[in-house]
Amino acid sequence: MKIRAGYKISYDCPQPTPMIITLSVHPGRRADLVTEDALYADPALAPNIEYVDGFGNICHVVQAPAGKLSISSDFIIRDGGEPDVVAPEAKQQPMEALPVDTLVYLMGSRYCETDRLSELAWAKFATVPKGWTLVQTICDFVHEHLTFGYPYARATRTAFEAFDEGRGVCRDFAHLAITLCRCMNIPARYCTGYLGDIGVPPEEAPMDFSAWFEVYLGDRWYTFDARHNIPRIGRILIARGRDATDVAITTSFGVCNLVGFEVVTDEVVDDERVIA
């Protein structure tokens, strides 16, 4: 299958403002691109610096001018059309057997306070069989405990605060599940990307970027999604990191106000756009 995806995001800056933009399709999916995933700006920007960060994500450094700036992309990508892998047999490795590059995903981070949730995690999940069953049980708990709603979005909410408040958006579902997995010695990392209503009934809410997470079981990473809590089709990964800090779509070094935000993720049939 083919998916057409893209965004148009607008900012208003009182003065010239440096920004780091993390919106390009992840290198692991670049080979699937049918058309170029290029960053366009209006007004046009001076040549930007493109680099790959420490987590393997593609980032751009730009200088936003004073006034309004719109950035956009529109591309088509191939997708296998298969739902997220389900592997109930996947085992949890003891810490001493884990690859060293996964260990950072066991530690607390800006939005994932393992120290504040460790006691809760062990009280709730200590007797659950390790491995896939444990991760799915954590997802079930988060899915039931948190109430989803766009009005509940707050950029500074942590995993502990999400648990305490009992509500949030997809990033909060991911942060809480990640934190509980880390507390139970399962490496877990935050993911952001496109996720349209492909293969499921369409939602009335406007399309947005989505957050999910991956855990390391056996000898590989697996995708989990505590918000939807079912395997989904058509994820297009943008970035991975410890939490939302590492994969923010834009990080501005100065005052910068968001004034416009549009995201699309549509299945393409017979070279025409079909709203999923």
pLDDT for res 270: 66
Each residue of 43-84: pLDDT tens digit? 998 878 999 999 999 999 999 999 999 999 999 999 999 999
pLDDT score of 134 more than 70: yes
Each residue of 25-40: pLDDT tens digit? 999 999 999 999 999 9
Ranges of beta strands (E only) in 39-131 are: 40-42, 49-52, 58-64, 67-78
Q: Which residues contact 260 (CB under 8 A, 6 or more apart)?
A: 8, 9, 10, 70
Domains of the chain: 2-77+249-270 (2.60.40.2250), 95-244 (3.10.620.30)
- Percent of the chain having pLDDT more than 90? 91
Predicted confidence band at 204 (pLDDT cuts at 50, 70, 90)? confident
Q: Which residues contact 42 (CB under 8 A, 6 or more apart)?
A: 69, 70, 72
pLDDT for res 271: 55
